């Protein structure tokens, strides 16, 4: 163990078996679930977080917290060259109304975060890097589910991901074993679904809905999302892209309608007309929230991945069960 960091030495003493993993964004919505899944499978998990509160969440999930900021060089980079690296870089918080200036700032930050991490693991013994992005990069799709090979027609929001993903292609060409995953609408007991659906429905408040009847989108339960990321580390092809979505798309409004029905609660809706959406949310989010975004998971299923919650109904039943607990 000569030359290992104190955190890595402690983890090795506690657990000698299993793959060593490093997770950025470990205290976030998807990151926490990923830490739990990896820990349950016996892997050593080092989770990067920037706060004391985040460190405690990572510890409760079964990981070893590593303090640091992806935007700054630091000792956290000593932990990064693990067997598996999961890069779940967070988006900076820009307030309720997202502008083009905000997206440009997000794009610059993402490029910097990527370079800090990927250059730290370059030349090491890392076997697989799972790079997480989201399907907005591909832009509006229409109602037919597209595959990963479809030409990109990024929306204003998706374009903030383009500079970073272009650079990822360069890292792949340089030999880094990167697998890129694109998530659809990830739901569960946290993040946007907690704030925009669970809290208002359970609290008797109105749910904000954009337009009528709303676009078609591809969802995925957060637990299936985390399991799929691990599956890609095991079976994904370096240099390939994979959509992490359920097979069947839904209308956006079905999230709240189905949850309210299963919870046996009345659904109260505050509907924003499509014409007013740009004024309320800004042009970037307005375009994103009104466009169909439907994706095929045939490539993921071709690797042998099976969903635990293949439908929205099954996934929301789990969410309600978790709330009861």
Superfamily in which the 11-186+218-249+294-308 domain is placed by CATH = NAD(P)-binding Rossmann-like Domain (3.40.50.720)
User: pTM to 2 decimals?
Assistant: 0.91
The average pLDDT across 41-48 equals: 96
pLDDT of 101-124, one tens digit each? 777 888 899 999 999 999 999 988
Q: What percent of the chain has pLDDT over 70?
A: 89
Q: Where are the domains of the chain?
A: 11-186+218-249+294-308
86 Cα distance to chain centroid = 11
User: pLDDT tens digits, residue range 176-205?
Assistant: 999 999 999 999 999 999 999 999 999 999
Distance CA 128, CA 231 (A): 11
Using the predicted structure, report yes or no on whether residue 38 has a pLDDT greater than 90. Answer: yes
Give the 3-state secondary structure of residue 46: strand
pLDDT at 71 over 60: yes
Residue 10: CB partners within 8 Å, gap ≥ 6? 64
Which pLDDT value is given to residue 214? Answer: 79
Instruction: Of 4-13, 146-155, 221-230, give the range with the top mean pLDDT.
Output: 221-230
**pLDDT of 3:** 41
CA distances from 151 to 12, 147, 148, 159, 296 (A): 45, 9, 8, 14, 14
Give the pLDDT band (50/70/90) at residue 156. Answer: confident
Confidence of residue 98 (pLDDT cuts 50, 70, 90): low
- Where residue 92 falls among pLDDT bands split at 50, 70, 90? low
Kindly tell me if the per-residue pLDDT of 53 is higher than 60: yes
Question: What pLDDT shows up at residue 95?
Answer: 52
Check whether 280 has a pLDDT greater than 90. no
pLDDT of residue 2: 33
Mean residue pLDDT of the chain comes to: 89
Please report the DSSP string for 114-150 in residue order: HHHHHHHHTTS---EEEEEEEGGGG---EEEEEPTTS
Calculate what percentage of the chain has a pLDDT beyond 90: 71
């Amino acid at each position: 163990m000569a030359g290992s960091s104190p955190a890595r030495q402690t983890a090795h003493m506690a657990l000698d078996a299993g793959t060593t993993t490093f997770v950025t964004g470990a205290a976030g919505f998807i990151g926490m679930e990923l830490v739990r899944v990896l820990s349950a499978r016996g892997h050593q998990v080092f989770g990067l977080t920037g706060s004391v509160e985040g460190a405690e969440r990572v510890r409760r999930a079964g990981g070893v917290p590593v303090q640091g900021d992806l935007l700054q060089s630091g000792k956290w980079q000593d932990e990064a060259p693990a067997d598996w690296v999961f890069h779940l870089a967070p988006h900076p918080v820009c307030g309720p109304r997202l502008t083009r200036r905000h997206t440009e700032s997000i794009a610059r930050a993402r490029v910097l975060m990527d370079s800090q991490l990927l250059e730290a693991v370059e030349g090491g013994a890392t076997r697989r890097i799972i790079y997480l992005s989201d399907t907005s990069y591909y832009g509006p799709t229409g109602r037919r589910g597209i595959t990963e090979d479809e030409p990109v027609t990024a929306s204003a929001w998706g374009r903030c991901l383009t500079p970073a993903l272009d650079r990822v292609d360069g890292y792949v060409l340089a030999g880094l074993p990167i697998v890129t995953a694109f998530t659809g609408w990830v739901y569960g007991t946290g993040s946007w679904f907690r704030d925009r659906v669970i809290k208002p429905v359970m609290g008797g408040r109105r749910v904000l809905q954009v337009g009528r009847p709303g676009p078609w989108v591809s969802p995925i339960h957060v637990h299936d999302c985390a399991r799929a990321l691990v599956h890609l580390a095991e079976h994904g092809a370096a240099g390939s892209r994979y959509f992490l979505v359920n097979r069947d798309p839904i209308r956006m409004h079905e999230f709240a309608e189905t949850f309210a029905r299963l919870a046996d609660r009345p659904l109260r809706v505050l509907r924003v007309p499509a014409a007013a959406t740009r004024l309320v949310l800004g042009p970037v989010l307005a375009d994103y929230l009104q466009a169909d975004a439907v994706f095929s998971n045939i490539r993921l299923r071709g690797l042998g991945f099976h969903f635990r919650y293949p439908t929205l109904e099954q996934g929301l039943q789990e969410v309600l069960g978790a709330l009861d607990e």
